[in-house]
């Protein structure tokens, strides 16, 4: 089999329908000024950005048998190695409404087809085949019907038994199961972090405290994405905060997935944690400014890396507390 640099697993992919509306009004007729339909789902989005960066990426998970063409085309166009298990029914739709007046994106994610126990066993066998020692396997996105959150733990054990590394982007019970099973990297956003600890994170202090305790107790590499406020990256050796310069946001769909791709690319290339935070932010930045996934040439990427503001987390904490007197964050 071809060399595989990364594998991504999307248990619940989606055909994303992005609608641009100039001023959305609930309860009335709205007209879209633009529309885009593309193959999506968190693991597929991560894989696409990794492939655009030059990596060989295998994609797996569960894909509906009845509407494969948009995915077949996407995998072909990006050179993704298709190892999806086909399940009965249609891959679900994800509706993304981008309000160009407020710059807000609203997601309505539909339910996808169920994966039977035999198909889950098939996926575990497939992942066993795809794992490579020292290479990252990404498990990203929600769980489809019929799949228990603990299945993520089973996937992690298969990857670890093949000496691979696991990065997880999930939420709720699945994130808990992944933390208990010993994932090597996790990328919750601040809401998922609050949900994990079942408490409000009222200010930056609360956020940092929660991130530190998750990193110390459960996961070596913790990435906490903070939307327009940037990202935190905590490892056993160091803690960083990074943010992009002024970004002209076209859509936020897939920004977190692109960030994950950039971090993994940095880690796989043996970059410092500081440069991994830069790379993650640059990948997210490029995704935010384009409706279709894209990455610039190496030289432009390098110059973008230099524009990312990165500081030790302790420095960011001191800045925030001197600005706010330690009070609640102003978003
Ligand atoms: N408006 C913005 N301006 C600048 N950077 C942004 C903006 N929105 C997002 N980013 C960058 O993209 C990264 C990921 O965005 P965000 O935190 O929204 O993703 P997420 O919530 O993790 O995504 P997902 O829904 O895929 O889990 C952020 O950490 C930040 O670096
Ligand atoms: O329902 P999930 O699996 O949590 O998220 C699915 C999804 O919103 O995530 C991607 C963006 O991150 C989209 O391509 C896709 O529609």
Q: Which ligand is nearest to the CA of 92?
A: 2
Helix (H, G, I), strand (E, B) or coil at 99: strand
Least confident of 30-34, 142-146, 253-257, 321-325: 321-325
Q: Where are the domains of the chain?
A: 1-184, 196-218+220-331
Q: What is the DSSP letter of 225?
A: E
Whole-number percent of the chain with pLDDT over 90: 94
Give CA–CA dist 45/234, Å, rounded: 23
Quote the pLDDT of residue 331: 42
Q: Which ligand is nearest to the CA of 16?
A: 2
Q: Is 284 in the pocket of ligand 1 (CB under 6 A)?
A: yes
* Domain 196-218+220-331 class in CATH: alpha beta
Q: Is 142 in the pocket of ligand 2 (CB under 6 A)?
A: yes
Return the ligand 1 atom nearest residue 103 CA: 1
Q: Hey, what are 206's tokens?
A: 């609360």
CATH of domain 1-184: 3.40.1190.20
Site to probe by mutation for ligand 1, drawn from 45, 227, 244, 287 as the one with most ligand atoms within 8 Å of Cβ, is 227
Which are the catalytic amino acids?
257
User: Looking at residues 8-36, what average pLDDT do you find?
Assistant: 97
Q: Residue 140 pLDDT > 90, yes or no?
A: yes
Quote the pLDDT of residue 57: 98
Interval between CA 76 and ligand 1 midpoint (Å): 27
**How does 54-79 read in b/e, with b if 16+ C-beta sit within 10 Å?**
ebebbbbbbbbeeebeebeebbeebe
Quote the pLDDT of residue 330: 45
Q: What is the pLDDT of residues 213-267, one digit of tens each?
A: 999 999 999 999 999 999 999 999 999 999 989 999 999 999 999 999 999 999 9
Give CA–CA dist 55/267, Å, rounded: 13
Give CA–CA dist 181/173, Å, rounded: 12
Q: What is the pLDDT of residues 259-294, one digit of tens each?
A: 999 999 999 999 999 999 999 999 999 999 998 999
Fold equal for 1-184 and 196-218+220-331: yes
Return the ligand 1 atom nearest residue 45 CA: 26
Q: What is the pLDDT of residues 90-116, one digit of tens each?
A: 999 999 999 999 989 999 999 999 999
Q: Is 247 in the pocket of ligand 1 (CB under 6 A)?
A: yes
Q: Residue 29 pLDDT > 90, yes or no?
A: yes
**Does ipTM top 0.85?**
yes
Q: Is 317 in the pocket of ligand 2 (CB under 6 A)?
A: no
């Amino acid at each position: 089999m071809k060399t595989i640099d990364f594998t991504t697993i999307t248990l619940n992919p989606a055909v994303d329908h992005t609608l641009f509306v100039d001023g959305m009004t609930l309860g009335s007729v709205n007209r879209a000024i633009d529309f885009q339909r593309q193959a999506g789902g968190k693991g597929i989005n991560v894989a696409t950005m990794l492939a655009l960066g030059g990596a060989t990426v295998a994609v797996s998970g569960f894909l509906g048998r009845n509407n494969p063409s948009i995915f077949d085309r996407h995998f072909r166009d990006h050179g993704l190695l298709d190892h999806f298990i086909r399940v009965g029914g249609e891959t679900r739709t994800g509706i993304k409404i981008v309000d160009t007046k407020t710059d807000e994106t609203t997601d309505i994610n539909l339910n996808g087809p169920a994966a039977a126990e035999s198909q889950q066993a098939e996926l575990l066998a497939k992942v066993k085949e795809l794992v490579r020692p020292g290479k990252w396997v990404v498990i990203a996105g929600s769980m489809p019907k019929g799949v228990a959150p603990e299945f993520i733990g089973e996937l992690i054990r298969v990857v670890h038994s093949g000496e691979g590394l696991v990065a997880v982007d999930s939420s709720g019970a699945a994130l808990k199961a992944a933390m208990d099973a010993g994932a090597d990297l996790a990328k919750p956003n601040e809401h998922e972090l609050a949900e994990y600890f079942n408490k409000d994170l009222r200010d930056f202090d609360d956020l940092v405290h929660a991130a530190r305790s998750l990193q110390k107790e459960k996961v070596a590499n913790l990435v906490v994405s903070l939307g327009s406020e940037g990202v935190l990256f905590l490892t056993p050796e160091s803690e960083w905060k990074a943010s992009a310069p002024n970004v002209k946001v076209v859509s936020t769909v897939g920004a977190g997935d692109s960030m994950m791709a950039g971090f993994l690319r940095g880690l796989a290339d043996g970059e410092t944690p500081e440069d991994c935070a830069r790379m993650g932010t640059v990948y997210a930045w490029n995704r935010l400014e384009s409706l279709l996934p894209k990455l610039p040439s190496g030289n432009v990427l390098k110059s973008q890396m230099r524009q990312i503001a990165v500081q030790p987390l302790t420095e960011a904490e001191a800045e925030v507390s001197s600005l706010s007197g330690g009070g609640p964050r102003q978003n």
